A and B are shown apart, each in its own frame.
Chain A
Amino acid sequence: MKPFSQVEGRAYPFGRKNVDTDVIIPAEFLKTISREGLGAGAFKVVRAEEGNVFDDPDYAGAPILIAGDNFGCGSSREHAAWALDDMGVRVVIAPSFSDIFSSNAFKNGILAVELPQAAIDRLMEVAATDPITVDLENQVVTTPFQDRFEFPIDPFRKSCLLAGLDEIGLTLESDDAIGVYEHKLAADKPWLAPRTA
């Protein structure tokens, strides 16, 4: 996982509520064998709309997405996080997220920032013209106009994101303990390994 410290850049002022995983990435893109390339299908329905933010050259490649309440609701598909990652989005800012989406986002190194609606409204304004800065270390979102919005985050997730440590990397820090367990298992339950023909 890429370490996450600070992201500065333009933000898609998307702002919609209840953006479900079908909106983020429609089911037709699920039959893939790769995590990559899903950005092409991201927000397909929205992109069919005239003047949508995702096709506006002003925001091309923006690393931040601003949305409304309950972002990422619907199915558990991890493809939603993969699609955002593939688009280059590293932070989603919204008043609330579905549990599964925040967990999937975290597993893929995407930061989900929860801010009250008033802060979202202000950031939507700024995003139309100027960049936004998200600082994970200090848990704060700032703008060139001296706006400052502090956000909460689970300390465990924060340290993983800062260190760029994915869950697998983290578990592998207990490699020795797993090895000891396997040793004992082989001694106590030698029958456990499936027979080979």
Chain B
Amino acid sequence: MTEPRTLYEKIWDAHVVERRDDGTCIVFIDRHLVHEVTSPQAFEGLRAAGRTVRRPDLTLAVPDHNLPTTARRDAAGNRVPIADPMSAKQLEALEANAPAFGIRYIDDAAPEQGIVHVVGPEQGFTLPGCTLVCGDSHTAAHGALGALAFGIGTSEVEHVLATQTLLLKQSKTMEIRIEGALGFGVSPKDVVLAIIGRIGAAGGTGHVIEYTGSTIRDMSIEGRLTVSNMSIEAGARAGLIAPDAKTLAYIKGRPMAPSGPDWDAAMQWWRSLPTDDGARYDTHVTLDAGDIAPNVTWGTSPEDVVPITGSVPDPDSFEDESKRAAAAKSLDYMGLTPGQRMEDVAVDTIFIGSCTNSRIEDLRAAAEVAKGRRIADGIKQALVVPGSGLVKLQAEREGLDRVFIEAGFEWREPGCSMCLGMNPDKVPPGQRCASTSNRNFVGRQGPGARTHLVSPAMAAAAAVTGKLTDIREMMG
């Protein structure tokens, strides 16, 4: 009998190529997603060293980070020039590097184009039990399908391109168990914000998380993607969820997923992956789903979470000295005062999008709120940016685009957009944004931008009232 193992340990063991004395392992990488921002220097490095891409067949390239979300082709089918010359250059570099190194490339105007972390699962590129990397820290998202997925730096991108492996040491494991049914108006985004609020932005450092419990089991795959996506905001490099019948149903029939006899063989291995009874995790955290309310952030770290019914905390209320100083600085940046009720905070901008919340279920949740309503007069911009061209098409088939446009939202082309403001979609200095993205860092959505992280339904509700709003009251 082998020792009982966790999901993470099973995937790890299956991918170790070679172990060195100091515990560093050469780990095989099954899947590599490449985008335009963190790859140019890696390709340049390959060229300089006269190296090739070892496994172009396991690599998929798609531009997303700095593409404009306005029309990309004119009526004649020609590219609408990208105003920022540096962004244009990064896109051109990827367009040239992918074919030069034999890598499959999804064009910026293709219906399959979208945010890497939306495209991977959607295309069936992401599979349970595989190791998957990308030069972007929210790669953790793919863990929702039971893949060991994490973000890497540019030198590591080059390392994977050249060797299809990475040098890694095994991480510690953390089980985050959530049990019970979510209340009305409480979404997967609220669950992950509650987790980060509970364990802190560094709580998962050095760990790979596995999310377990009935709340996760009952969650849709899209909801699970939202939860795993933000693992990195709790400091963990990866956040896994065991594959189950829902996972397999989600993957089956996707363009790049195994089919026919391959499917049956793959399924056998996937079914052996869930953590064995008696396997041990290094750390445990448990949450009761019934305690989770719709959440909002008040500060400049994703751990700065309060329920929408709460108020801005007093920096002096924190025990930790450095947290006190950080909170005071955050409040100053955010333009908030201690004791202010979150529901009284007026917003200027709404962003519904990002790899955290831009899939069809997210758009449906937001549209349900927007339907038959209008955005408030004070709202200066309200963007809906689907996660991929396919999500956009599906939403249009369901008429969601009409719902948003009639309510006063802008309906855009897919990409990262206002999540990080590398393209023209930025929150202007000093303005306040209710955003479905994943980072409320200083300047993340543009210099001086103030971000409140919320769920898609909560973002739509804020658009309608012009301030942070308890979705349960609006829809209940």
CB of B57 within 8 A of CB of A78, answer no
B154 within 8 A of A: yes
Rounded to whole Å, the gap between the CB of A24 and the closest CB of chain B is 16
B89 within 8 A of A: yes
CB of B44 within 8 A of CB of A191, answer no
Residue of A76, A156, A193, A195 touching B259 (CB-CB under 8 A): A195
Number of A-B contacts (CB under 8 A): 101
CB of A78 within 8 A of CB of B155, answer yes
CB of B262 within 8 A of CB of A34, answer no
Rounded to whole Å, the gap between the CB of B260 and the closest CB of chain A is 9
CB of B155 within 8 A of CB of A104, answer yes
Looking at the complex, which of A4-12, A86-94, A121-129, A169-177 is the stretch in contact with chain B? A169-177
CB of A168 within 8 A of CB of B163, answer yes
CB of B26 within 8 A of CB of A178, answer yes
CB of A194 within 8 A of CB of B26, answer no
Interfacial chain B residues near A181, Cβ < 8 Å:
17, 28
Interfacial chain B residues near A32, Cβ < 8 Å:
40, 86
B329 within 8 A of A: no
Interface residues on A, range: 20 to 34
Interfacial chain A residues near B167, Cβ < 8 Å:
167, 171
In the complex, what distance in Å separates the CA atom of A195 from the CA atom of B266?
13
In the complex, what distance in Å separates the CA atom of A172 from the CA atom of B46?
13
Residue of B93, B130, B159, B262 touching A171 (CB-CB under 8 A): B159
CB of A177 within 8 A of CB of B49, answer no
Interface string of B17-54 (1 = CB under 8 A from A): 11000100010101100000100110011000101001
Rounded to whole Å, the gap between the CB of B301 and the closest CB of chain A is 15
CB of B26 within 8 A of CB of A174, answer yes
CB of B30 within 8 A of CB of A35, answer no
- Tell me whether A178 and B40 are in contact in the complex, defined as CB-CB below 8 angstroms, given that A32-B86, A76-B153, A78-B155 are known contacts: no
Interfacial chain A residues near B40, Cβ < 8 Å:
32-34
Interfacial chain B residues near A178, Cβ < 8 Å:
17, 26, 28, 54, 163-165
In the complex, what distance in Å separates the CA atom of A31 from the CA atom of B125?
28
Rounded to whole Å, the gap between the CB of A168 and the closest CB of chain B is 5
B273 within 8 A of A: no
CB of A33 within 8 A of CB of B90, answer yes
Interface residues of B in 175-234 (CB under 8 A from A): none
CB of A191 within 8 A of CB of B41, answer no
Interfacial chain A residues near B89, Cβ < 8 Å:
33
CB of A195 within 8 A of CB of B163, answer no
Residue of A35, A177, A194 touching B41 (CB-CB under 8 A): A35
CB of B18 within 8 A of CB of A177, answer yes
In the complex, what distance in Å separates the CA atom of A9 from the CA atom of B41?
29
CB of B93 within 8 A of CB of A33, answer yes
CB of A177 within 8 A of CB of B17, answer yes
A118 within 8 A of B: no
Rounded to whole Å, the gap between the CB of B90 and the closest CB of chain A is 6
Interface centre among B155, B257, B262, by most A CB within 10 Å? B155
CB of B30 within 8 A of CB of A33, answer no
In the complex, what distance in Å separates the CA atom of A185 from the CA atom of B28?
10
In the complex, what distance in Å separates the CA atom of A129 from the CA atom of B90?
43
A190 within 8 A of B: yes
Q: A35: nearest residue on chain B (CB-CB)?
A: B41
B258 within 8 A of A: yes
B255 within 8 A of A: yes
Interfacial chain A residues near B265, Cβ < 8 Å:
189-191
Interfacial chain A residues near B422, Cβ < 8 Å:
31
B247 within 8 A of A: no
Residue of A33, A166, A185, A197 touching B44 (CB-CB under 8 A): A33
CB of A191 within 8 A of CB of B258, answer yes
In the complex, what distance in Å separates the CA atom of A197 from the CA atom of B54?
21
CB of B60 within 8 A of CB of A194, answer yes
- Tell me whether A33 and B158 are in contact in the complex, defined as CB-CB below 8 angstroms, given that A178-B165, A185-B28, A195-B259 are known contacts: no
CB of A171 within 8 A of CB of B165, answer yes
B58 within 8 A of A: yes
Rounded to whole Å, the gap between the CB of A18 and the closest CB of chain B is 15
In the complex, what distance in Å separates the CA atom of A108 from the CA atom of B30?
26
Residue of A31, A174, A190 touching B262 (CB-CB under 8 A): A190
Interfacial chain A residues near B22, Cβ < 8 Å:
156
A48 within 8 A of B: no
Residue of B45, B49, B163 touching A35 (CB-CB under 8 A): B45
- Tell me whether A195 and B258 are in contact in the complex, defined as CB-CB below 8 angstroms, given that A167-B159, A181-B17, A189-B269 are known contacts: yes
B287 within 8 A of A: no
In the complex, what distance in Å separates the CA atom of A196 from the CA atom of B255?
8
Rounded to whole Å, the gap between the CB of A109 and the closest CB of chain B is 11
Interface residues of A in 78-113 (CB under 8 A from B): 78, 82, 104, 107-108
CB of A78 within 8 A of CB of B153, answer yes
CB of B18 within 8 A of CB of A191, answer no
- Tell me whether A192 and B30 are in contact in the complex, defined as CB-CB below 8 angstroms, given that A33-B44, A171-B159, A181-B17 are known contacts: yes
Rounded to whole Å, the gap between the CB of A28 and the closest CB of chain B is 10
Interface centre among A104, A178, A192, by most B CB within 10 Å? A192
Residue of B41, B51, B60 touching A168 (CB-CB under 8 A): B51
Cβ contacts A to B, 30 pairs, < 8 Å: A31-B37, A31-B422, A33-B89, A33-B90, A34-B40, A76-B153, A78-B153, A82-B41, A108-B155, A167-B155, A167-B167, A168-B162, A171-B165, A172-B162, A174-B17, A177-B26, A178-B17, A178-B26, A178-B163, A178-B164, A181-B28, A182-B28, A182-B164, A189-B265, A189-B266, A191-B262, A192-B258, A192-B266, A195-B256, A195-B257
Chain B residues close to A by CB (< 8 Å):
17-18, 22, 26, 28, 30-31, 37, 40-41, 44-45, 49, 51, 54-55, 57-58, 60, 66, 84, 86-87, 89-90, 93, 104, 124-125, 127, 130, 153-155, 158-159, 162-165, 167, 255-259, 262-263, 265-266, 269, 422
- In the A-B complex, list the 7 residue pairs whose CB atoms are closest, starting with the nearest: A33-B40, A191-B262, A191-B258, A31-B86, A194-B256, A191-B266, A181-B17
Q: Beyond the given A174-B18, A194-B124, please list 6 additional residue pairs across the A-B interface where CB-CB is below 8 A.
A: A31-B422, A78-B155, A171-B163, A190-B262, A191-B265, A195-B255
